[in-house]
Amino acid sequence: MAQPAGAPAGQQPYSNGPVQNQLMHSPDGQGYSPAVPGSYSHQMPAKVTPHQSSGQYSYSGSQNVSQLNNYQGPGQTLNRPPVAAFSGSPVQQPGPVPQVLPPALQNSAAVSSAGSFPPGASPPVLSNWQYSPTPVSQPLGAQTSHLAHVPGTGSAQPPSSLSGSTNPPGSYQYAASPGGPSLQNSYMKPGTAPPPVTQPLTPLHPPRPPLGPPPVGGPPRPSTAIAGPPSAQSLLKSAANQEGDARSAATDGSVVQNSYDAIEGGGLMATPHHSPAAPNLKMNRSVGYSYPALPPGYQHTSPPGAPGMNASTLQYPDGSKHFHQPALGPNHLTASMGGLSLQQEGLRPVNLLQERNILPTTLLKAPVPNLHEDIQKLNCNPELFRCTLTNIPQTQALLNKAKLPLGLLLHPFKDLSQLPVVTSSIIVRCRSCRTYINPFVSFLDQRRWKCNLCYRVNDVPDEFLYNPVTRVYGEPHKRPEVQNATIEFMAPSEYMLRPPQPPVYLFVFDVSHNAIETGYLNTVCQTLLDNLDSLPGNTRTKIGFITFDSTIHFYSLQEGLSQPQMLIVSDIEDVFIPMPENLLVNLNENKELIQDLLKTLPQMFTKSLETQSALGPALQAAFKLMSPTGGRITVFQTQLPSVGMGALKSREEPNQRATAKDIHLTPSTDFYKKLALDCSGQQVAVDLFLLSGQYSDLASLGCISRYSAGSVYYYQSYHHKHNPVQVEKLQKELKRYLTRKIGFEAVMRIRCTKGLSIHTFHGNFFVRSTDLLSLPNVNPDAGYAVQMSVEESLTDMQVVSFQSALLYTSSKGERRIRVHTMCLPVVTTLSDVYLGADVQAITGLLANMAVDRSVSATLSDARDALVNAVIDSLAAYRSSVLSIQQPGLTAPHSLRLFPLYILALLKQKAFQTGTNTRLDERIFTMCQVKNQPLVYLMLMTHPSLYRVDNLTDEGALNINDRTIPQPPLLQLSVEKLSRDGAYLMDAGSVMFLWIGKNCGQGFISQVLGVPNYGSIPQNMTHLPELETAESIRTRAFISWLREQRPFFPILYIIKDESPLKSSFLQNMIEDRTESALSYYEFLLHIQQQVNK
């Protein structure tokens, strides 16, 4: 029976017992995809014949993919039907007519910057929500349908028809209202409790007075503007009012669907909404807010019988009749696309064999799209959203001719210092494609705006005429939603399928003999103790613990116990949950018991001789415990699972590591994938920390994180004594992991202008419907990627737009929507396509595609495809753009680093050949390719090299009273090293400080703190804190580099005779290694192929 937690693990226990994704961190677009149902299509071709006709080249084969439980895994090729054109019957109207302006209670709006909650303003969240697989009883006829509807913009769109059921195994199933359409995967909102109240946030611009609702009774005169944040009561009424609108809007015969797909609001595949629309007089597809000429005084007309307002009350405080904004019409692109010196530089032919010093001395920045400055200044930050081509080809044939991949790379939940947050009773979206209003829509007049994705003309809701920032009526184009490409909305209740879940964290620890031997439990428990108060959450936060070896141990943390109780389940074939109500407990109410458990856990198993590992059953138990609420499971594993479901056998043969044919990159079982899909269906994500010195089959284990939108962390050969630097790395990374922000029960959709289509996703997630990514958890360190094609010619379009929308629940229990929108020009010539190439984004997307190719075909196929990508694009440039054929190997300036970056990828652990890469290490690097935002992926692929023995303050940054030196970047070649210097290599997850034999005595003594070169210790990993100018500069530079990433790079200080020198030299991308060409040899190979 129950024993005190301190009881030895060996006592006989009682026996018996049973349980959502986005775009650059993926599984099935990952380097470790299963050879089980759901195999992935080849996404990179073998070398194509050199003379194929335009239009035949394709980076992505589209195969029919058998589905596992009707799930589409990330990375699968999705064939989307063409977008239906809007076919509503327009009703001619004489002109825009103002509607009655709403009372204040219906329009509470506030804008704030993220995270700036005033003290005590975190929203009161109802703590008594019940989560149960069956709905609270309620007459079906009275059931409310919450759909993605915005008052005044029509009803929600149904999602595209899906093949088969979309219900995740074990998901909530609720009955539809009698007589209504069948609801797939539908949740009905339990009970009749009011929705959580969203309180206003502090203003975005501190000097301004607080933003408030518009005054009752129409626009304020300048002297009577009312300031002050909206009351919580008014926000609650606004939400209730919106629900009323959502209900009444569903009477037009459109299908109402209570699912995430309906809530986020159908993508471009959604059925067009057939309802009268303002006439779309001319499809003028330009960007901007200019009005056509309107009859003077159009503002003063009122609809027949409009109650409550005289025409004379509609006077705008600033006296303007319409917007005085520059017309950004056909001239919004800068000049003609070839006449500027900047552009000529981008197209300047570079002879790569002659110009050896092409690496810039500062970090490469994303290219700036060739847009009018008024539009470009509103564009999305490339750190969040960037495209492989900043000039979009008008046709697929032109894209095929360029031989470059078209895709997007996203970092959607990145930590931001400035984030406008809008609290409003209304979220304005296109009635047809459900795009969120953004800076790139066109306002035809004050009452109508044209969507920049599907070109539908929409009405501007009355509430949107009031600008909460300026507190002025009649300026919808100045609202924060139309002035910021990145914005976050506080979502009203119709964006919820259920009340927002509490933050729930479950920790699962391997306590087998092998695990205890590594000493990891001391580090993890102490780090958890130190950061318990910093876990994201509120008064509802819950926490629980499970440990396992060949049996599973639960810990009862019931209030009133003097110490935690251990409950052991030894029947791992039929796992059950003992006392489920006391295993996940409120963190604040049970903190002392939790602290007691964390203090005693590391000592409880020190005498254990149990060597078996029942990881699979432990994960099944964790899933059962978490499934009623959802949340995050964090599992620590140190060996190959050996007993119960999910047991694995070693597949690594050290001598076979190099042979590409026998390499085991695919999972050996589908157990972990299936369990991950079950987790995703119940809003549970699993993060895996693998701390192992032996083969643990990460290809199989990684599936649990990949498909549940989790993350994988790998600490090779972790041991607290034999490998102490790993202890500090685990501490630092675990602290970041525990305290960073988190989003729960999230979904993400990416939309693009009509004519473009998305066909493949990369990242850790599950594709719920054709284009909706399920992310049970979303974290700020995850990146995603998508591949795209030009489905219909973009004729008459000067620009196209892309928008990602991430709907999530914050740790404070608020439903939020983070929207990023990017606008790019359309071009018609091949030279312009090359001009706008973003070489880093292209490399990042190709790396994701190569991981897929490694898994679906072979590693050598993936390597060939990477090389062919360079050959094909440079051959196309040479034959189609260069007017004068030149000797050598010529690339456009924009792609001058392309061969170098591809060579760097070929030498990276994910894709390199040779026997020195462990299989788990290779798989983990592939996980990182899929999971990391582009900036970290590039650093890992092409490290940065700096000389640091002569740092000065010239050109230094000044940050928080610290001076950060900025030494120039050096090429990654031994010829750039001098024995007189000291060089820092930053390879992302590791740093090397190489000290030359003849390095100056001053640097050695004043930075390393030792008298001479011979005294430098062999295993030095820290710089001493000396009060010398040289030491302060060097440490400031290294600290600054470390602060810019979410993981902790270990610093190894090495000399010529250090064992780690080989790792340092391995990163010298431009030099020859035993299994790879030098950069010059690689260029000669490319030249030979291009000239064929």
Residue 1065 reports pLDDT greater than 60: yes
Average pLDDT estimate for 356-385: 93
> What per-residue confidence (pLDDT) applies to 469?
82
Residue 941 reports pLDDT greater than 90: yes
DSSP structure class, residue 297:
T
> What per-residue confidence (pLDDT) applies to 1075?
78
> What per-residue confidence (pLDDT) applies to 654?
62
> What per-residue confidence (pLDDT) applies to 468?
81
Determine contact, residues 683/503, Cβ cutoff 8 Å.
no
Alpha helices in 627-756 (DSSP H): 671-681, 698-701, 703-706, 724-739
Predicted confidence band of residue 560 (pLDDT cuts 50, 70, 90): confident
Return the higher-pLDDT residue of 283 and 548: 548
Average pLDDT estimate for 15-27: 33
Average pLDDT estimate for 638-659: 81
> What per-residue confidence (pLDDT) applies to 98?
39
> What per-residue confidence (pLDDT) applies to 344?
61
Determine contact, residues 150/96, Cβ cutoff 8 Å.
no
Over residues 426-436, the pLDDT tens digits come to 899 999 999 99
Average pLDDT estimate for 139-161: 37
Average pLDDT estimate for 733-743: 97
Q: What are the C-alpha distances in Å from 639 to residues 691, 876, 912?
A: 8, 49, 25
Range with lowest mean pLDDT among 162-171, 631-640, 991-1000, 1029-1038: 162-171
Return the higher-pLDDT residue of 156 and 1014: 1014
Average pLDDT estimate for 35-54: 37
**Residues 6 or more apart whose Cβ sits within 8 Å of residue 305:** none
Residue 478 reports pLDDT greater than 60: yes
> What per-residue confidence (pLDDT) applies to 833?
96
Report how far residue 575's alpha carbon sits from residue 508's, in angstroms, rounded to the nearest whole number.
Answer: 15
> What per-residue confidence (pLDDT) applies to 14?
35
> What per-residue confidence (pLDDT) applies to 266?
54
* Angle between helix 919-931 and helix 934-941 axes, rounded to 10 deg: 140
Over residues 565-576, the pLDDT tens digits come to 999 999 999 999
Return the higher-pLDDT residue of 1073 and 799: 799
Report how far residue 992's alpha carbon sits from residue 988's, in angstroms, rounded to the nearest whole number.
Answer: 11
Predicted confidence band of residue 348 (pLDDT cuts 50, 70, 90): confident
Residue 52 reports pLDDT greater than 60: no
Helix (H, G, I), strand (E, B) or coil at 662: helix
Residue 294: which of 93, 481, 471, 440 has the closest Cα? 93
Predicted confidence band of residue 472 (pLDDT cuts 50, 70, 90): confident
> What per-residue confidence (pLDDT) applies to 467?
85
> What per-residue confidence (pLDDT) applies to 662?
54
- Identify the helix (H) or strand (E) that includes residue 743: strand 743-752
Predicted confidence band of residue 768 (pLDDT cuts 50, 70, 90): confident
Residue 812 reports pLDDT greater than 80: yes
Average pLDDT, the chain: 76
Residue 337: both structure tokens together:
């696309």
Return the higher-pLDDT residue of 625 and 193: 625
Residue 747 reports pLDDT greater than 70: yes
Report how far residue 537's alpha carbon sits from residue 530's, in angstroms, rounded to the nearest whole number.
Answer: 16
Range with lowest mean pLDDT among 390-394, 421-425, 732-736, 872-876: 421-425
Residue 895 reports pLDDT greater than 50: yes
Residue 720: which of 793, 638, 647 has the closest Cα? 638
Residue 769 reports pLDDT greater than 90: no
Residue 151 reports pLDDT greater than 80: no
> What per-residue confidence (pLDDT) applies to 302?
36
Report how far residue 1083's alpha carbon sits from residue 884's, in angstroms, rounded to the nearest whole number.
Answer: 20
- Percent of the chain having pLDDT more than 70? 67
Report how far residue 1054's alpha carbon sits from residue 1062's, in angstroms, rounded to the nearest whole number.
Answer: 10
Predicted confidence band of residue 34 (pLDDT cuts 50, 70, 90): very low
Return the higher-pLDDT residue of 109 and 709: 709
> What per-residue confidence (pLDDT) applies to 259?
65
> What per-residue confidence (pLDDT) applies to 526?
97
Q: Is the dihedral of CA 919, 923, 926, 932 positive or negative?
A: negative
Report how far residue 236's alpha carbon sits from residue 215's, in angstroms, rounded to the nearest whole number.
Answer: 18
Determine contact, residues 1016/995, Cβ cutoff 8 Å.
yes
